[in-house]
Amino acid sequence: MKISIERAALLKAVAQAQSVVERRNTIPILANVLIEAEANTVSFRATDLDIEVVDKAPAQVERAGATTVSAVMLHEIVRKLPDGALVNLTDDPASGRLAVMAGRSSFNLATLPKEDFPVMASSEYSANFTAPAGVLRRLFDKSKFAISTEETRYYLNGVYMHVAQGEDGPVLRCVATDGHRLARIDAPLPEGAAGMPGVIVPRKTVGELRKLLDDDQAQIAVSVSETKVRFATPAITLTSKVIDGTFPDYTRVIPTGNTRRLEVDAAEFARAVDRVATVSSERSRAVKLSLDEDRLVLSVNAPDAGAAEEELAVAYGDERLEIGFNAKYLLEIASQVDRENAVFLFNSSGDPTLMREGNDTSAVYVVMPMRV
């Protein structure tokens, strides 16, 4: 194999591949990226056995072939090369080395046989559809903060992507929860997605997928089966196993009868919560909200550290209410608001609280209160 490739194209492809590779590997081949060159394209494939990413880049291929080399090492080398450099990769199967040359720099890297590289088994996908990158980005960005990190409840360690019935008909919905807070985000149902099985997309996959979604103009081809999900652009294909488990019935925890309505400037509210939470104890991080007619008082009382209080002018016309929340949860939920105002709907100090942006019901958040 002998190829020449622009540094920028090589760096982009290798960066995406190496981020999938697990840093601590017991199987040496999994630390490598599989480089395959043919015609005028070179592809870089990396896997951790749960996720596989294949990244294609244009290159001048003098001699077709394939080899595997340390993903992290290749990425570090390419990252440190000067901008605009033309990189030559030459594989010597006899010595088991890959020569990387650019300008006056040359490196010889150890390779492993391409035959040892595990390729994810292809599967039949029961649903195939195309969605704009911006739509998928919103679905996953707004829900991923609520993904659980508890390994024991593994079925909550991802985002549940499924078809659901919205207010105006079927929608593509993403839900994540950790038992303390929940995010439910809807988007118009793309053509061809109606028969899609509901799948739990793992946290790591959500992180890797985010890198495919920066270009608003891009169309992402999504394929879903009971066991796998695949997201593809013309250059990158990300295939992942899904979490084998049943996502709980989240509709039961979304309150429908909350009538006490608070409307507040989301950015102002987030800044105020952040300020008063400075004195809260690390363990509880509790902030008390005291609501009265058109005023909200945020207060923290930490016996060992001190106390803090801040008043905000808000729109609230119901009876007095005192309710406590974890400051971190409030900040995360408030930071999801794109428009100016966040609307909180309360019931009592012991019941879950609903938050949405204005009257928009396509993004709904639930947060559990805590005793203060």
> What is d(CA 65, CA 2) in angstroms, rounded to the nearest whole number?
8
Do 279 and 300 touch, CB atoms closer than 8 A? yes
> What is d(CA 141, CA 185) in angstroms, rounded to the nearest whole number?
10
Q: What is the pLDDT of residue 83?
A: 94
> What is d(CA 123, CA 86) in angstroms, rounded to the nearest whole number?
37
The reply to whether domains 2-116 and 127-252 share a CATH topology is yes
pLDDT tens, residue order, the chain (372 aa): 999 999 999 999 999 999 999 988 899 999 999 999 999 999 999 999 999 999 999 999 999 999 999 999 999 999 999 999 999 999 999 999 999 999 999 999 999 999 999 988 888 999 999 999 999 999 999 999 999 999 999 999 999 999 999 988 999 999 999 999 999 999 999 999 998 999 999 999 999 999 999 888 899 999 999 999 999 999 999 999 999 999 999 999 999 999 999 999 999 999 999 999 999 877 678 999 999 999 999 999 988 888 999 999 999 999 999 999 999 999 999 999 988 799 999 999 999 999 999 888 899 999 999 987
Q: What is the pLDDT of residue 109?
A: 97
What does DSSP assign to residue 53? E
Count of CB atoms situated within 10 Å of the CB of 152: 7
Residue 271 phi, psi (nearest 5): -65, -40
The domain 2-116 having CATH identifier 3.30.1330.200: the answer here is no
Q: What is the dihedral of CA 285, 269, 159, 223, to 10 degrees?
A: -160
Do 345 and 259 touch, CB atoms closer than 8 A? yes
Q: What is the pLDDT of residue 372?
A: 75
> What is the crossing angle of helices 71-80 and 7-20, to 10°?
150
Say which CATH architecture domain 127-252 belongs to.
Roll (3.10)
> What is d(CA 372, CA 362) in angstroms, rounded to the nearest whole number?
31
Angle, vertex CA 19, rays to CA 126 and CA 333, nearest 5:
75
> What is d(CA 161, CA 164) in angstroms, rounded to the nearest whole number?
9
84 beta partners: none
Residue 363 phi, psi (nearest 5): -135, 110
User: In Å, how far are 159, 277, 282, 365 from 146, measured between CA atoms?
Assistant: 9, 20, 20, 9
Place of tokens 């793309």: 190
Query: Element (H or E) spanning 338, and its range?
Result: none
- Shortest CA distance to 235 belongs to which of 52, 82, 58? 58
Query: Element (H or E) spanning 175, and its range?
Result: strand 169-177
Domain positions in the chain: 2-116, 127-252, 254-367
- Shortest CA distance to 334 belongs to which of 294, 291, 274? 274
Among the four given CATH numbers 3.40.1440.60, 3.10.150.10, 3.30.565.10, 3.40.50.720, the one describing domain 254-367: 3.10.150.10
Query: Element (H or E) spanning 86, and its range?
Result: strand 86-92
Do 193 and 171 touch, CB atoms closer than 8 A? no
Do 57 and 13 touch, CB atoms closer than 8 A? yes
